[in-house]
Amino acid sequence: MEDVLIVGAGPVGLMLACELGLAGIRPIVLDKRPEPGDLPKANGLGGQIIDLLDHRGLLERFSAGSPFSGRAPGFPFGSVPLRFAGLDDIPLRLLMIQQPRLERLLAERAAELGAEIRRGQEVVSLAQDEHGVTLGIEVGPGVEGGPGAGDGPGVEGGRREVRARYVVGGDGGRSRLRELAGVGFPGTTDDEVLRMGHFAADVSVFESPQVSGLQPGWNRRPYGRVLLTSLQPGVVIAGVREKGAYSGGPVTREEFMAAVRRVLGEDLPLGKPIWLSATVSQARLAERYRAGRVFLAGDAAHLFPAGGSALNVGMTDAANLAWKLAARLRGRGAEWLLDTYESERRPVAERALMQTRAQAALDRVEGEDGEALRALLTEVFAHEQAARHLAAMLHGSDTRYGSGNLPGGEHPLVGRFVPDLVLADGRRVAELMRAARPVLLDLGGGGTVPGDCAGWIDVVRARCDDPPAGALLIRPDGYVAWAGTDGLAQAAGKWFAGAPAHA
Ligand SMILES: Cc1cc2nc3c(=O)[nH]c(=O)nc-3n(C[C@H](O)[C@H](O)[C@H](O)COP(=O)(O)OP(=O)(O)OC[C@H]3O[C@@H](n4cnc5c(N)ncnc54)[C@H](O)[C@@H]3O)c2cc1C
């Protein structure tokens, strides 16, 4: 029996594989696609996931060649500009990286850490009992064990079964695993279609920015909105958003141009399409994140109706779940620890749903009412406090997990992502988190790891200016489990030695 099967080699499934690999678990990742995805869906990452990549020492590797990596200069909040000029200490960072490259780098890293990625394998059935989960898989043509390849052990006519102690569905918004596990996905579907395309640049679009009075960025018209932008030389990104339904088939150039004509009333001089797609935004949240030994993460658990949050929330879901699964598999975590995945992460998705629904509404509302709302909020967003509040929300730094009612739990850092303190020896806290192990950072307040956690928690004794606490106990996902001077043994025992939840 395997330890963990991950369904879906998208960014979330692969992030989970990396995190499990660091914890010494060798997961198997199953993906129905025979090859890595090449759709340029997301253009980048924003928020706490960037801090986490920094913790893992991956930031340099992931930002190599990126057109932008750094503090966010602003953010189009539902088409109302949010500007962070002069706010050099806001937490929100952006890393422009195309999704296929992100997936390739994550897959490389997961493989380095011992994960096995099996492509061309579609999960079609699920059965679970108290010991494990059995997945039925359809193996694609041309894949070892697939149709026509002859039956191997456990393989019959292109079908096989795999069994594991835990299964995680990172299989996207239309998650089959979620459906097989009987978990509902309530929410709403937008009544607008967004058609997007990357086009070989016809520079005339940008040399004449006044084509149809268009400006780079989103342009609002009575029948919809048109996007024109470019993130790399030679490629124009264009988008058209209009009321209507989408049948689900591939988008053709003719269909895209017809949508442009409906909204603008004229053609755009766009070059040859490199890639075209259509999506309808949805706002949905899984009824449960856990069904027995099956967990959901990323788009399988939540869909947000506006951009910028999906990968941040999804990939940090993975980091939250990985260390808990690993602890349980190693006999160190109690069963309740696995339940904290949902109790910690669902509120994060609820909050992201709230702000992305607000963005979608702000973007959608038409006519003079819409103009007035956007004008008013443009004024409000110019206030520093509003900009800081939204930056923290978009970043995820306003997330605070429960303290577990432990001594020291009232410290303001408990339940928060650890600040990136610079220690007297020059190291940053991020550098202590490379191995994704729990760290006791003793900043002069003392503290001894109890015997049952020794060898599991790394102890770092250091000094820094203005220490925020005598000591910090940092979880593998970067969150502070405990801070202060009293109650370390209880906190360490609770989180890292399998003590009962209410000890
Ligand atoms: C046009 C567009 C632009 C976007 N821009 C951004 C952005 O800028 N920032 C951002 O954060 N997000 C953005 N998103 C959203 C982002 O792409 C998704 O949130 C992200 O892909 C979700 O990752 P995931 O790993 O959860 O799921 P997915 O990426 O959907 O991966 C799921 C994987 O599961 C596999 N799979 C599905 N079913 C099965 C099965 N039964 N058996 C085996 N394998 C299966 C699929 O083949 C796929 O590889 C954008 C999306 C689109 C469409």
For ligand 1, say whether the CB of 281 is within 6 Å of any of its atoms.
no
Taking 50 as the threshold, does the pLDDT of residue 502 lie above it? no
Angle, nearest 10°, between helix axes 11-22 and 310-329? 30
Does 333 sit in the ligand 1 pocket, CB within 6 Å? Answer: no
pLDDT score at 148: 52
Domain identity same for 319 and 442? no
Best residue among 138, 190, 311 to mutate for probing ligand 1, ranked by most atoms within 8 Å of CB: 311
Assigned domain for 165 exists: yes
Q: Domain with 255 in it: what CATH number?
A: 3.30.70.2450
364 located within any domain: no
- Where among 313, 337, 352 does a domain terminate? 352
Q: Is residue 92 part of a domain?
A: no
The DSSP letter of residue 422 is B
pLDDT for res 383: 97
Instruction: State in Å: Cα 198 to ligand 1 middle.
Output: 18
DSSP alpha helix (H) spans, 113-252: 176-180, 204-207
Kindly report, residue by residue over 401-412, the tens digit of the pLDDT.
Answer: 987 677 777 899
Distance CA 461, CA 79 (A): 47
Residue 188 pLDDT level (bands cut at 50, 70, 90): very high
Residue 390 is encoded by which pair of tokens? 């939204």
Same-domain check for residues 32 and 136: yes
CATH number for 137: 3.50.50.60
Supply the pLDDT for residue 297. Answer: 98
Q: For ligand 1, is residue 146 a contact (CB within 6 Å)?
A: no
Distances (CA, A) of 370 to 58, 218, 264, 387: 42, 15, 19, 21
Would the CB of 298 count as within 6 Å of ligand 1?
yes
Mean pLDDT, the chain, rounded, equals 91
DSSP 287: S
Does 122 contact ligand 1 (Cβ within 6 A)?
Answer: yes
Confirm or reject: Cβ of 5 under 6 Å from ligand 1: no
List of residues 6+ apart from 472 with CB closer than 8 A: 413, 418, 439, 440, 441, 443, 480, 482, 483
Q: Which of 210, 225, 228 is nearest to 270 (CA)?
A: 228
**Predicted pLDDT at 266:** 87
**Within a domain: residue 200?**
yes
What is the rounded CA–CA span in Å between residue 302 and residue 320? 15
State yes or no: pLDDT of 333 exceeds 90. no
Same domain, 270 and 308: no
pLDDT, position 501: 55
Domain count, the chain: 3
Report the pLDDT averaged over residues 84-91.
93
Q: What is the pLDDT averaged over residues 338-364?
A: 96
Pair (452, 414) in one structural domain: yes
What's the confidence (pLDDT) of residue 247?
78
Q: Using CA atoms, how far apart are residues 426 and 430, in angstroms rounded to an integer?
A: 12
Distance from the alpha carbon of residue 410 to the mean position of ligand 1, in angstroms? 38
Residues 179, 204, single domain; the answer is no
Q: What would the pLDDT profile of 281-326 be if each residue is shown by its tens digit?
A: 999 999 999 999 999 999 999 999 998 899 999 999 999 999 999 9
Q: Confidence class of residue 230 from pLDDT cuts 50, 70 and 90?
A: confident
Residue 282 CB–ligand 1 contact under 6 Å? no
Residue type, 446: G
Q: What is the 3-state secondary structure (H, E, C) of 126-151?
A: EEECCCCEEEEEEECCCCCCCCCCCC
pLDDT of residue 503: 38
Looking at residue 421, its pLDDT comes to 96
The predicted-structure confidence for 424-468, as pLDDT tens digits, reads as follows: 999 999 999 999 999 999 999 877 888 888 888 999 999 999 999
Residues 414 and 457 in one domain: yes
Domain range holding 490? 400-503
Confidence of residue 113 (pLDDT cuts 50, 70, 90): very high
How many CB atoms lie under 10 A from the CB of residue 196?
19
Distance between CA atoms of residues 169 and 152, nearest Å: 26
Higher pLDDT, residue 338 or 503: 338
Which tokens hold the place of 288?
A: 């449960």
Assigned domain for 381 exists: no
Nearest Cα neighbor of 125 from 133, 115, 136 is 136
Does the beta carbon of 286 lie inside 6 Å of ligand 1? Answer: no
Strand partners, 285: 302
216 and 118, same structural domain? no
Last residue of a domain, one of 322, 352, 382: 352
Tell me if 8 CB under 6 Å of ligand 1.
Answer: yes
Whole-angstrom distance, CA of residue 503 vs CA of residue 500: 5
Expressed in angstroms, the distance from the first to the final Cα of the chain is 33
Last residue of a domain, one of 225, 255, 280: 280
- In this structure, the residue with its CA closest to atom 31 of ligand 1 is 10
Position 70 in a domain: no
> Is the C-beta atom of 123 inside 6 A of ligand 1?
yes
120 lines ligand 1 (CB under 6 A): no
Closest CA to 477 of 336, 348, 343, 321: 321
9 lines ligand 1 (CB under 6 A): yes
Which residue would you say has higher pLDDT here, 364 or 478? Answer: 478
Residue where the block lists tokens 């980048």: 44
- State the distance from the centre of ligand 1 to the C-alpha of 170, rounded, in angstroms: 9
- Residue 265 domain-assigned? yes
The span from the CA of 382 to the CA of 287, in Å, is: 37
pLDDT of residue 210: 54
Confidence of residue 155 (pLDDT cuts 50, 70, 90): low
- Say if residue 169 is in the same domain as residue 196: no
447 and 421, same structural domain? yes
Q: Assign residue 448 the CATH number of its domain.
A: 3.40.30.120
Contact 498, 332 (CB under 8 A): yes
Helix 335-364 / helix 367-381 crossing angle, nearest 10 deg: 120
Q: Do 106 and 161 sit in the same domain of this protein?
A: yes
Residue 58 in tokens: 């991956």
Helix (H) or strand (E) holding 228: strand 224-232
CA of 168 to the centre of ligand 1 (A): 15
420 within a domain of the structure (yes/no): yes
| Res. 45 pLDDT band, cuts 50 70 90 | very high
Residues 165 and 104 both lie in one domain: yes
Determine which residue's CA is closest to atom 30 belonging to ligand 1.
172
State residue 153's pLDDT score: 52
Are 137 and 27 contained in the same domain? yes
Give SS3 for 367.
helix
